[in-house]
Structure 1
């Protein structure tokens, strides 16, 4: 039997400690201290590291391996989160703003390094490259407000590719020079190798990924493994040509971006990184912080202040130049500035690489003072950037083409016609919930003079024998027979469909496309939590692949008895109109009343409330004409979830919009949806939006129902 000391020396012990930290510390910091979870991870590293309890060692094999994985995963996720489609739309202006927000901070950082830090040219230029990149930390705010379509926002998103790639290339050259014996010939060789390597990764991995995904079909496990293989092969390839592995990781993220799209495999890739590897990287960053040295760095405030002020000022100048060049207004300029301000993913990764880089004499490329100053920079900009964005972005305008005219269209924005009637697909599986689902579908179909397609999926696999298959068919036929009888009773046309498929979710999606469905109505599954996030469920997969809206319902009684409907919104934009349209159709079919609810904080003045109410009323009249059954209500409550819960006590149904929010670093930010779905006692409809297509105007992607999100 091993002694306690022998057990504690096992490599699994640090891993267990890390899991405890990741599970508890961010939650405590966010809920009790009101600080970002990342700050908690850094603090945990300090407490548990060599300068604290000495439970974790940055040089241990376990920490080295996990931290390196977290480092490359962070940059890989940064590449995945870059919106290639947005870049293509405004590539010329994105390159223009990217040039401004890369060169001006690069020059400013170099000046700071030379004058304040007294560093040599190589280290100073590397500090400048740290200024040049940025992390779109405030993107979830922009997405929630529905102003992603604004050109200034699109240009800033596209510029991320230019700045991050440029900063990583500068890093590669600076590290190579610092290693010594770096001649012009070797510089030329390195640049040529980088060009060839980048082409191989960007085009080769994209080609290989598309072929592999096409051949693997719905095997999400193998697709997930392919993505990880691409990440680590690209990282190793970068090291083979003499550059840092984070360059390869970022390029791999860009390469598989188009291949993954916005599907369940990408969700799993981001999930694994956000809950495990990336947090471990931030804990390891905390292990590197020497508290006495950190305090000494901050006490000689010159370098830290110069780095923070230089970054903020140079990013402001870059946004100002873009304003003058492209004639943006001040609000758009401030939004561009705030979006390009946060320094998290690429900046931290490059700083760590520079800190670890040693020349033949054992000298570091970046000093401990620079590392500590960059950590302060991260905390300041990660707080200031989103704060400014939340103040200035709500007033941004979007093109009129982004708006959705709802008076002549169905829920998916496609006009109904004799050749394409309003079609509601209802997957039937549970006899206990079948009647309420059919009744909900019937109310909507009757109002739109449409039809219902009750759908039963019979699953089959290669080794399934004939009696099993026959039994499954009989069960499906019984469900469809019952559904057809309910449709006759409810007075609506029903076209039952029995489908044989090896995957229930894909069967639903394929049948819906074949039937040109306008809406899918499904019951709320019970499989939630960690298992659903890792392996998914039927509703998750349908949401990801559906071409039309999906109404996930949890009904407490017959839909025909619904008389009061609540729709919470923050801003009534084109992205938030579908829940209102859904509620309006249901209300008109049921002679019900709709309340459009906005929750503001307790400090909002009566004049501001009156103005907001008038604006919402105008938008309702514009996007939902003839909506005499829609009331606009604004209430005060500092706790948004509690405000909605209070309002829901007097309604029969609440319609929520499903929306993912994720930072470019892959770390989720909190919202109120989970609180709501756990505490609501009335009926709930979570309206999942379809994927963006090239043929029609539809709304952004939805999140997994296992962890639903709402824009309010």
Structure 2
């Protein structure tokens, strides 16, 4: 019995490992340990994973062989890299830099081919078709080092944006050339070939950009509560797009990248769904791909004779040198810094995905020989290492130079940013928390403060316990998007007093409230809760009604009354609106006068924001009903109001929540009260505020003599 047990144990560890559970456990152990160990000796985690693949692969210790399961996970990881690159592309920035992306794409495509073809034809002695195929392989690159720039927070830097944009252009061109070379080698390069390729490519683009976004928008809107279903749907789109690309005669990586572009506007970068996509990809699938790349490498090919060594060295040198020249030309053309040039070179010098596709297909059709295949595997290992090291070093330089996704002035403000979210109704808690996550700066170290205030009465203790339970459910929801929250439950005689006191204690500079509900008789007599909060706080206050799916929004319409740019919190509020625009990838229409337009333009230029911005003029701000002509069905409405007594306050702002709620009942809307310089009001000394009563008496007397237009 013991002997049988020992035999069973020994067979389980037969080399190469065949037990799928053990294989998966070993891969996960490497994913966990490799980056941790190599980080101590300053080697990027990407290189550690590739080298681990070399060690455990069939050409190393032979612990693992390239089984169908490994190939499947590797393919998923490769598609994940391309998909995330398309998904995280800042479309506003890409739109601004599309001409630069095209020029970089031309450089990184043409220069390697112009350098590589003469080397392959005259130096290595290959024929025309083989030389074209090998040199086109030099033009490809895989964004293996993209997780590095993402971790350093420079993924929206212009140098990164044009490199990603150029990737799709050059890889698409190379893979089309590959299809042409194969057609030429088989004598099929006729009129029918070109018509089939052009038609299938056009149908692919039509489906991806015409059909898929509409289906995705409908799905996210109708199945809004099923967060797991959202992730499964996204995965389906990625693999369906990869399959469609193969049907169209392209490589599946092009399909994954295009899927990212198609869903880009529908998945905000700070959303819970985006967090799940990145987390699962970075934890399992992408490391699997990097390990599988290492498993292909056969170091022993270098010992087969000088021919293999010469070819491997030549291919590697040409690949690295030509990509550096392309990055150098790009730097000269756009006057980038040396750190940005190095970022471009680092991202574009790694050869893995498309390179493997080209060489494997070429070898299968007999266009290239064994030496080129082996030399290419060595090239992949060396270029991945060079790319990772170069990108890591360049990313540090970009961060030190202050060229991260947000400019230094924004980051300094963000470090002090403290958002508070008073929760009164759990039904709108999720939408408010999601909105707060979207507008919160990623540079802020402070969590979002979630507050609940319990009235100080005989049931206070029981209500406090119930409130803390409710806060636990809020914390659980926040953890789904890795949103850091701080929970506060407090007792006060008056809800408004409790919120204002907590805001002062936490030094909150932004308070997000739900849209005020219809007031009862008592509230009408003594003053509404939101009005009391306004009187007692100085912070920027956002009244939010966000109950419709944000994927339906096509524009943000911002109403900025005259002199709103003079308010103390104007810059803070503008920053949040622009951030929302970037997250949703939609333009902003500002309705204001010329002076406010000039102030907004200066703010955007000062902070180098890439959002698309339009302006419309409006003069009669005493007649707010005229503003409805600017609003369309799927617009997100934002109104910049002011507290009474502030410089931009107008009589027409009286009761504005009710007015906006009535006119824009079918729209998502935010009413913003910018922060003020401070002071005090009677509300700070009284539980039941006297000021609103006096205001209502004054308005009532005033209405006898003047007819309210609204």
| TM-score normalised to structure 1 length | 0.54
Q: 1:241 to 1:166 in 2, by over 3 A?
A: closer
In 1, distance between residues paired with 2:355 and 2:154? 34
Pick the aligned partner of 1:93 from 78, 96, 100.
100
Q: Quick one: structure 1 residues 48 and 184, their matched pair in 2 at CA, closer, same or farther if it must change by over 3 Å? A: farther
Is the counterpart of residue 209 in structure 1 residue 216 in structure 2?
A: yes
Query: Cα–Cα, structure 1 residues 402 and 512, in superposed 2: closer, same or farther, change >3 Å?
Result: farther
Q: 1:44 to 1:388 in 2, by over 3 A?
A: closer
Residue from 47, 54, 65 that aligns with 2:62: 54
- Paired with 2:96 and 2:516, the residues of 1 have a C-alpha distance of 28
Q: 2:35 aligns with which of 23, 26, 47?
A: 26
Identify unmatched segments of 5+ residues in structure 2. Answer: 426-448, 455-461, 472-487, 505-510, 518-529, 543-555, 557-570, 576-605, 608-668, 673-710
CA distance in 2, matches of 1:136, 1:109: 22
Cα contact 1:487–1:493 (8 A) shared by 2: no
* Alpha-carbon distance change, 46 to 374 in structure 1, aligned in 2, over 3 angstroms: closer
Query: What is the DSSP-based 3-state SS (H/G/I as helix, E as strand, rest coil) of the residue aligned with 1:482?
Result: strand
Gap change, CA 1:361 and 1:105, over 3 Å in 2 = closer
Does the CA-based 8 Å contact 1:49-1:55 persist in structure 2? yes
Structure-1 separation of matches of 2:307 and 2:366: 29
Quickly say closer, same or farther: Cα 1:315–1:370, change in 2 above 3 A: closer
> Which of 331, 353, 357 is 1:353 aligned to?
357
- Alpha-carbon separation, structure 2, partners of 1:144 and 1:512: 37
For residue 387 of structure 1, report the CA deviation from its aligned partner: 2.3
Contact 1:66 1:280 in 2 (8 A): yes
Distance 1:13 1:20 in 2: 10
Q: Does 1:337 align with 2:341?
A: yes
Give the conservation status (yes or no) of the 8 Å contact 1:176–1:243: no
Distance apart, 1:313 and its partner CA: 3.8
The 1:70–1:454 alpha-carbon spacing in structure 2 relative to 1, beyond 3 Å, is closer
How many residues end up aligned between the 2 structures? 470
Q: Deviations over 1:513-559 (max 9, x none)?
A: 99898489xxxxxxxxxxxxxxxxxxxxxxxxxx9xxxxxxxxxxxx
How does 1:296-375 map onto structure 2 within 5 Å? Answer: 302-322=310-330, 325-326=333-334, 328=335, 332=336, 334-342=338-346, 347-357=351-361, 358-359=363-364, 367-375=373-381
**Structure 1 residues 389-408: aligned runs within 5 Å:** 390-391=396-397, 394-395=400-401, 403=409
**Helix, strand or coil: the match of 1:425?**
strand
Task: Check whether the contact 1:351–1:371 (CA below 8 A) recurs between aligned residues.
Answer: no
Cα distance change, pair 137–456 in 1 and its aligned pair in 2 (3 A):
farther
| CA deviation profile, 1:462-484 (whole Å, cap 9, x unmatched) | xxxxxx9999689779x977155
Instruction: Please give the TM-score of this superposition, normalised by the length of structure 2.
Output: 0.54
Is the Cα contact below 8 Å between 1:426 and 1:454 reproduced in 2? yes
CA separation of 1:513 and 1:271: change in aligned 2, threshold 3 A: farther
SS of match in other structure, 1:50: coil
Deviations, residues 309-355 of structure 1 (Å, cap 9, x unaligned): 434443444345445555x2xxx153443122125798301122234
Task: Flag the 1:392–1:110 CA change in 2: closer, same or farther, 3 A.
Answer: farther
1:233 CA drift (Å): 1.0
RMSD of Structure 2 on Structure 1 (CA): 5.2
Q: CA deviation digits over 1:6-39, x for unaligned, max 9?
A: 75644333223222222222322223x4322233
Cα distance in 1, alignment partners of residues 42 and 83 from structure 2: 29
Contact 1:139–1:339 (CA<8 Å) still a contact in 2?
no
CA distance in 1, matches of 2:243, 2:153: 40
Q: Which shows bigger deviation, 225-234 or 34-43? A: 34-43
Q: Which residue pairs with 1:194 in the alignment?
A: 201
In the alignment, what sits opposite 1:236? 243
Change (3 A) 1:509 1:246: farther
Distance 1:157 1:695 in 2: 37
**Which secondary structure state, in structure 2, belongs to the residue aligned with residue 28 of structure 1?**
helix
Aligned counterpart, 2:283: 275
Q: Distance in 1 between matches of 2:123 and 2:230?
A: 49
Q: Unpaired segments of 5 or more residues in structure 1?
A: 413-421, 430-451, 458-467, 496-507, 521-546, 548-573, 579-621, 624-692, 697-712
Q: Using a 3 Å threshold, how does the CA distance of structure 1 residues 131 and 399 change in structure 2: closer, same or farther?
A: same
Distance 2:147 2:64 in 1: 34
- Determine helix, strand or coil for the equivalent of 2:421: strand
Taking the TM superposition and a 5 Å limit, the aligned residue runs for 1:624-663 are none
3-state SS of the aligned residue for 2:39? helix
Tell me, in whole angstroms, the C-alpha distance in 1 between the residues paired with 2:671 and 2:180: 44
Q: Does 1:128 align with 2:128?
A: no
Q: Residues of 2 paired with 1:400 and 1:348: CA distance? A: 31
